[in-house]
Amino acid sequence: MKVLPTRLSGVMVIEPRRHTDDRGWFIESWDRRRYAAAGMDTDFVQDNHSLSRRGVVRGLHYQAPPRAQAKLVRCTAGRIWDVVVDIRHGSPTYGQWDAVELDAASPRMVWVPVGFAHGFAALSEQAEVQYKCSDYYAPEAAVGIRWDDPALGIPWPVREPVLSEQDRRHPCLAALPRHFTFTP
């Protein structure tokens, strides 16, 4: 597998090796030993799977400590624009974001460590996203950042976003408590 750094320290794009033959293809999407050797050492406890229609924006979500989650995100049908925001106070990239397009035709995945918010926009008629989480969903720890926070300046590639009522009500990053602190 190839591990590609992003401009956010710790966030990585993973390109698993694809084995192709007359039957189709095969990838190894998770091997704890290989991921740990690449700096992504975690135990996943929950897998989630969502279906979104074109224009849906989900996020920006994270869980506060002590229920913080690392995630491994992949698009298994359709196409998405996947966004990660650094929310670690004191980080050189605090409040900055990066995005990568994920689609079912490519096995690329995004590693989202603890200390980052995550969201995505569905670019295809339908998009399915699967992601592994290092902690269970905990409603009392669930936090969100406003998807269109002007301080973040994320240029979402959708004209008329479809949002959940909850995602519409999220505050801007500056209004949130300091849940994470950067440790060099």
Instruction: Tell me: cis bond preceding 51? Omega within 30 of 0 counts.
Output: no
Assign residue 152 a region (left: φ > 0; alpha: ψ between -120 and 50; beta: otherwise): alpha
Strand (E) or helix (H) holding 36:
helix 32-37
Catalytic residue among 61, 118, 170, 179: 61
Nearby residues of 147 by Cβ (< 8 Å), 6 or more positions away: 57, 59, 60, 119, 154, 156, 161, 163, 167, 170
Is 131 designated active site?
Answer: yes
Catalytic residue among 62, 131, 170, 179: 131
**Residue that is written with structure tokens 């049908």 in the block:** 77
Q: Are 62 and 68 a contacting pair, CB within 8 Å?
A: yes
pLDDT by residue (tens digit) across 80-127? 999 999 999 999 999 999 999 999 999 899 999 999 999 999 999 999
pTM of the model: 0.94
Q: Which of 18-27, 48-57, 96-105 has the lowest mean pLDDT?
A: 18-27
Distance CA 3, CA 18 (A): 14
Task: Please give the pLDDT value at position 41.
Answer: 87
Distance CA 89, CA 23 (A): 49
Residues in the chain: 184
Distance CA 35, CA 96 (A): 25
Task: Using the predicted structure, report yes or no on whether residue 69 has a pLDDT greater than 90.
Answer: yes
**Domains of the chain, start order:** 2-17+29-179 (2.60.120.10)
Task: Give 29's pLDDT tier (boundaries 50, 70, 90).
Answer: confident
Distance CA 87, CA 117 (A): 7
